[in-house]
Amino acid sequence: MTKYIFITGGVVSGLGKGITGSSLGVLLKNSGVKVFMQKFDPYLNIDPGTMNPIEHGEVFVTDDGGETDLDLGHYERFIDENLFKVSSTSAGKIYSEALETERLGKYEGKTVQVIPHITNLIKEKIYKAGEKSGADVIISEIGGTVGDIESQPFIEAIRQVRMEKGHENVMFIHVALLPYLRVSGEYKTKPIQHSVKEMLSLGIQPDVIVARTEGIIEDRLKDKISLFCNIPNENVIVCPDADSIYKVPLILKETNLHDIVAKQLQLKLNTLNISDWQKFVENIDASKEEIKIHIVGKYVELSDAYLSVMESLKIAGYDINKKIKFEWVNARHLTKENIQANLEGAIAILVPGGFGESGVEGKILAANYARVNNIPYLGICLGMQIACIEFARNVLNLSDAHTTELDPNTKNPIIDIMEGKDRENIGGTLRLGRYVTDLVEGTLAKELYGTNQAIERHRHRYEFNNDYKEMFEKAGMKFSGIYQEKDLVEIIELPEHKFFIAAQYHPEFTSRPNKPNALFKGFVQAASKNK
């Protein structure tokens, strides 16, 4: 039978509930437990697909094409499992399902209410995650902070799950801030006490409190939290700030959180073996020498907008004991006149994905700068499309070459819409999720992957236009990865260049600790050599 662990947040948001849950996942998985993760977000958008990356961060894409919250990226990188759509549910999705059911008359004339209709749907998603994944344990994070109006139906639903499944099958872990007051030089437990009181008023007694602190605390504070929050002393876990999120599993290991969980949920654990993870963290600590990577994007105001790209670069860096330093370049501000000043001295340039017009000409200038100056280049999705446009304009002399996303009337639609996809309908009409790319013999792509196929995730609407393939090939571009079924270009490269490769898919979603994605690995190595 599947067991459920719910992670709630207290006092403030941004405490790393996701990292806490994922780290517990690492400990359980490496003790032989099959783990799956899930996130509930209290916002009313159906999914983050149409949300502004500068406000909400990146859209993480699952194998089955779910457009999800960036926390799922952390989950996958930590527990090293591919999650599915059911791993990400917003209040908007739940409400829209309820309203659809109501319109179809399927509630048989009943008054539709938050309790039981919304809470039932939430429970359905929780149980579905159990059935679909076949996991021993589902770790579900409830987004937001306890006490938020929006999260109340979720809290009520998980309370009911505990009633239905019992104490030995359902566990509540409350991650809350234990603030340090610098003026008086002391930690204050009162906010945690209030937050637990809030949970009690909603019918939930947490089983474990993870107190998020700046540093180590005195034992008497643990005693105090234990006494006032009705929690056994050993179930008060102290998790101080870490200089890398990847160290949190090792911090929690020392607290024996996995044993506490196993005891309550009656799980039989094998001896915990996290030597691979330890090795990874040792590599992080050994990565002192810096490598600078220029990222030319348009959402550079919020680095979370490129979270998986950053983590992929870091992971590839640690692999060769190098620390990645990010140089953010706002594509929107790049011009012919200032491109030199902005990219002077760059040893590697990455152009990530993106949508819409702004910043595109700046990105084209950056791809040109990398190509002409023989600087390692990695293009992702839009970053591949603009590399093709740049090549068409400046090598093939097709001066009006463009993507029909931005110039529907161009005479040279190098990048064009796929058949049957509707340009008007923005939400949910993309090529999404997992596709298989066949790698062409004798190419850099094939060498980097070291396999015949690359399985990667997509999130885009436009594709390379095959009418231009021959012209490009004659001028020296290689098409090194193809999605055979529809004959779509997946990877391009320039063999004459030090390292110039770009993919229509998003390689950043498949990097895992100790296992950097092949393109990122190659790119970071090329950057390191180019130093």
Coil, strand or helix at 155: helix
> Is 14 part of any known ligand binding site?
yes
User: Looking at beta carbons only, is 356 or 495 nearer to ligand GLN?
Assistant: 356
CB of 500 to ligand GLN, least distance (A): 18
Please state, in angstroms and rounded to a whole number, the distance separating the CA atoms of residues 175 and 7. Answer: 7
Distance between CA 400 and CA 406 in Å, rounded?
A: 12
Please state the closest distance from residue 381 (CB atom) to ligand GLN, in A: 3
461 touching ligand GLN, by CB under 6 A? yes
- Report how far residue 197's alpha carbon sits from residue 194's, in angstroms, rounded to the nearest whole number: 5
Tokens of 507: 């390689």
Active-site residue 381, yes or no? yes
State the Cα–Cα distance between residues 401 and 410, nearest whole angstrom.
7
Retrieve residue 50's tokens: 């149409």
Closest distance of CB 516 from ligand GLN, Å: 21
Which one among 161, 175, 281, 382 touches ligand GLN, defined by CB under 6 A? Answer: 382
Q: Minimum CB separation from ligand GLN for residue 363, in Å?
A: 10
The active-site residue, picked from 229, 239, 381, 388, is: 381
Catalytic choice (76, 490, 493, 508): 508
For 303, counting Cβ atoms within 10 Å of its Cβ (0-12 exposed, 13-18 middle, 19+ buried), the class is middle
SS3 assignment for 123-134? HHHHHHHHHHHC
Nearest distance from C-beta of residue 412 to ligand GLN, angstroms: 17
Q: Report the nearest approach of ligand GLN to the CB of residue 460 (Å).
A: 3
Question: Rounded to an integer, what is the distance from CA 27 to the centroid of its chain?
Answer: 20
43 scored as a contact of ligand GLN (CB under 6 A): no
Q: Tell me if 381 contacts ligand GLN by CB under 6 A.
A: yes
Residue 405 in contact with ligand GLN, rule: CB under 6 A: yes
**Type of residue found at 122:** I
CB of 37 or CB of 309, closer to ligand GLN: 309
Task: From 12-20, 69-77, 453-461, 468-476, give the range in contact with ligand GLN by CB under 6 A.
Answer: 453-461
What angle is formed at CA 9 by the lines to CA 7 and CA 11, rounded to 5 degrees? Answer: 160
Please report which residue ranges of 202-344 form alpha helices under DSSP H. 219-229, 248-255, 257-265, 275-286, 307-319, 339-343
Instruction: Tell whether residue 471 is among the known ligand binding residues.
Output: no
CB-nearer residue toward ligand GLN: 205 or 330: 330
Nearer to ligand GLN, 121 or 380 (CB): 380
Q: Does position 462 bind ligand GLN by CB under 6 A?
A: yes
Distances (CA, A) of 18 to 8, 87, 364, 387: 10, 13, 36, 36
Are 513 and 77 in contact, with CB atoms under 8 Å apart? Answer: yes
Kindly tell me which of 237 and 387 has the beta carbon lying closer to ligand GLN: 387
Q: Site for ligand GLN (CB under 6 A): how many residues?
A: 10
Asked if 457 is part of the footprint of ligand GLN (rule: CB under 6 A), the reply reads no
| Residue in 363, 393, 459, 478 binding ligand GLN, rule: CB under 6 A | 459
508 catalytic, yes or no? yes
Active-site residue, selected from the candidate residues 174, 258, 294, 506: 506
Q: What distances in angstroms separate CA 104 from CA 95, 108, 116, 414, one per listed residue?
A: 14, 9, 18, 44
Name the site residues for ligand GLN (rule: CB under 6 A): 353-355, 381-382, 405, 459-462
Indicate which residues carry an active-site annotation: 381, 506, 508
